[in-house]
Structure 1
Amino acid sequence: MRSLILALSVVLTGCSALNPAEWISPYQLDIPQGNTVSEESLARIKPGMTRSQVRFVLGTPLLNDPFHADRWDYAFRLVRDGKLAENTRLTLHFNGDTLARTETYGLAKPQAASEPAAVVTPATQ
């Protein structure tokens, strides 16, 4: 009986070193946050396009800062199993109503445009 109590106390003492929060956790959904910008849509963006043309191609920007009115930010973040799986950012800088330059993070840089920007017009109904 004494050896059973001793063995049980050793086992329970060993289990106390384990943190159940590390191996028992609730299920978390993978929820994408932000705007997904594909490489195809990024390739369609060219300097000289108007704001409405860019909005037609990429959609409404995630961040439209009133302090930086000539800058649009498209950010995307995906966390899977508590680890960052994907993190991309596209920043567009405008000069007036026309696109001046782009900055990318986590996206492939578009090829240099040898031809002028194609005219993209939103469909009106």
Structure 2
Amino acid sequence: MCLKVLQPILHTIVSIATMVCSIGCTMIQYMPKQFDVKQGNYLSECEINRISLGMTKSDVSSNIGAPTLQGLLTPNIWYYIFYHRIGNKIIKHQILTLKFDTNDVLITIDKKVIV
């Protein structure tokens, strides 16, 4: 008699436990992943040391490549931007700003690295 009363309750408990486990496993599939994102132009110290004040735009671009961004209103400022991010955490952020005079000669090198 006692077994007949407990059987529906036990069946309900097993059903609920099975549903909870199934939902838990399904949710793991849809959890956001931590993506490794690298964007921009990463320049090593060796590459940056290849450029120096007094170089022309063509000299600079032949040594380290084209800039990531060039100002529309100020075309004599070149930006080389790089960042490395895993999930929401920024691992490395590098900004190299090069300023040229009106004769396209490099006059300023400004490097910022955020680690």
TM-score by length of 1: 0.64
Percent identity of paired positions between Structure 1 and Structure 2:
32
The structure with the greater share of residues assigned to strand is: 2
**In the aligned structure 2, how far is the partner of 1:46 from the partner of 1:105?**
17
Q: Could you report, residue by residue, the CA deviation over 1:65-123 in whole angstroms, capped at 9, with x for unpaired residues?
A: 1111110000001101321001000000001211001111018xxxxxxxxxxxxxxxx
Partner of 1:98: 105
Correspondent of 2:45 among 34, 39, 44: 39
Question: 3-state DSSP class of the match of 1:37?
Answer: coil
Partner of 2:95: 89
Q: Which has the higher contact order (CA 8 A, sep 6+)?
A: 1
Deviation at 1:24, TM superposition (A): 7.2
Task: Tell me the C-alpha RMSD between the 2 structures.
Answer: 3.2
Where does structure 1 lack aligned partners over 5 or more consecutive residues? 6-19, 108-125
Partner of 2:35: 29
TM-score by length of 2: 0.69
Are residues 1:66 and 2:72 paired? yes
Larger Rg: 2
Where does structure 2 lack aligned partners over 5 or more consecutive residues? 1-8, 13-26
Equivalent pairs, count:
105
The structure with the greater share of residues assigned to helix is: 2
**In the aligned structure 2, how far is the partner of 1:31 from the partner of 1:82?**
10
